[in-house]
Structure 1
Amino acid sequence: MRSLGLAGVSSVLVDGFSVINNSAGLAYLSQSSVAVSVQNRFGINDLNIFHLSGQYRLRGDQAIGLALASTGIEGFRENHVTAGYGLKLMNAFSIGVKLNLTNYHLAERGNLFRAHADLGAMYQVNNRLKLGLVFFNPFQITRLREYDEYFPTGVSFGASYLVGNGLGLYSEVSKTELSPMQFKIGIEWHWLEQLWLRTGYSHTNSAFSLGVGIHRKYLTANFSFVHMALPGGVSGADFGYSW
């Protein structure tokens, strides 16, 4: 995904995976799209994450999206289904909501189902500055079955600033109930007409990222790599088609 090349900054991005990142971004899409991505974690052959995303513009400033995700290793599998909707309330401000259904399968314990909803907002302050906000699981729909505990809630706030015509600066801070605050920064450079270069840093795990994006007519491709102090690196690629 594009966000991987920006060290995980996602709440202000409008692209083929907006339904996953921030559903409010769906309302800013200029085209409908389909996209597929794969990520490999820590160089382990079987530890891959697959995403399939479809986003469709409706009449007016609104759009819907559907995404599927799957990951797992021997004895464990995690599958996600995400449905999202984004709407512009005014020219510069949009809101979004998405419903996430997750199935965990453990060979020794069977299946555990989880459902939660996220809320998002996006504000285009001016031609250069954009803000994004995501509330994770604010309604606490389900509990962990075995421990009678709520799934954690969280919030993510991001900003992007366009410097000149080809350089974008990104930042994001996020916090959940079960993890410390995370800070991420990223830079995206529109180097050539059809080529983007990206880099980023996340302080939580001392992660540095590099990414390349290619956009030609209706086709897009992104390639990213993240180096972490521990336990290793993450690599990813995605391909999309828009119309």
Structure 2
Amino acid sequence: MRHFNLLLWANLVVFICSAQNNQGGRLTAMGATGAAVKDLWGVAANPANIVGHPTPSLQITYQLNAISKDLSTQALAFVFPINKQAIGIHTQRYGMAEYQSNSIALILAKEFGPKLSLGIRGTYHQLRISGYGSTTAASIDVGIAYQLSDRVMLGYFLNNPSRSDYIANSAISIPTVGHLGISLQASDKLLLSGRINKENFALGFDYQLVSIFSIRSGISLSPLTHYFGIGLVHNKFIVDLTYLKNSQFTHTPQLSFGYAF
């Protein structure tokens, strides 16, 4: 019975955590449509998209969950550009006192000419359930980004193509999901983006009202979720405020801070 309960809890947590790959304030507010958007949080959305980031940058984000006030997500993203390459670090903690999912990832990305970039992310996962112990896993993710034209970009990100499992029991697996994305720089101020996978479809936008202030919004279909956000940039500091509302829960707030070195 104890073994059965462990599997039940672990699979529940893995299922929940698979939907909690947080993409930071900006991309989350755009409907989590980061598969084809150049951004620091490509460390979570598509590793190929961290190439071309102008300076070393660090951001942290904190999201409360509407299921429980004790349930939250904390994540960190860091990117260090080196000529036509980039190195990234991504850490995330999701959970509460009774159970936690933690991960740390190293990302490597490289440009191959002016249009194509590739990225790879290696992640170490830890899943802990109070009273039952913990288990670990390692996975590899891959991403590609292609600049179709000056204004249109395509991206594809594949989670865990090797179908890695947690060590404790092969029944507990990390999801394998492919994400196809497209973005359109409609004007100097307006960016449109979209993402599709086998379970969901999402659209979003980012509009820069003035040089230091942007508004964002997005929508995804499964479950029906609305996203809203604003972004502030002052000198080298970045602040993003994001809210999610879906058909199952109430508002979910998220706050992000960043600094470009």
Q: TM-score scaled by structure 1?
A: 0.92
Task: Give unmatched runs, 5+ long, in structure 1.
Answer: 176-180
1:234 aligns with 2:257: no
The alignment's C-alpha RMSD in Å is 1.5
Give the structure 2 partner of residue 155 of structure 1.
Answer: 178
Q: Which amino acid is the alignment partner of residue 252 of structure 2? A: V
**Identical counterparts, % of pairs:** 19
- Secondary structure in structure 2 of the residue aligned to 1:46: strand
**Residues 74 and 150 of structure 1, relative CA distance in 2, 3 Å threshold:** closer
Counterpart pick for 1:120 among 136, 143, 147? 143
Asked if the contact 1:43/1:233 (under 8 Å) is kept, the reply is: no
1:71 aligns with 2:94: yes
The whole-number CA distance in structure 2 between the counterparts of 1:44 and 1:143 is 26
Post-superposition Cα deviations, 1:50-82, rounded to whole Å, max 9, x if no partner, equal: 112211112x20010112111221211111101
Give the structure 1 partner of residue 169 of structure 2.
Answer: 146
Q: Once superposed, which parts of structure 1, at least 4 consecutive aligned residues long, lie more than 2 Å away? A: 13-16, 140-152
137-146 or 70-79, which deviates more: 137-146
129-138 or 149-158, which deviates more: 149-158
Q: Please state which structure has a larger fraction of its residues in strand.
A: 1
Give the structure 2 partner of residue 184 of structure 1.
Answer: 202
Q: Which amino acid is the alignment partner of residue 115 of structure 2? A: A
Q: How does 1:1-243 map to 2 (within 5 A)?
A: 1-42=25-66, 44-58=68-82, 60-143=83-166, 145-148=168-171, 150-175=173-198, 181-243=199-261
Asked if the contact 1:20/1:82 (under 8 Å) is kept, the reply is: no
**Residues 93 and 147 of structure 1, relative CA distance in 2, 3 Å threshold:** closer
Q: Which amino acid is the alignment partner of residue 242 of structure 2? A: S
Task: Give unmatched runs, 5+ long, in structure 2.
Answer: 1-24
Post-superposition Cα deviations, 1:81-132, rounded to whole Å, max 9, x if no partner, equal: 0110110011111000001111011112101102111000111112211111
Aligned residues: 237
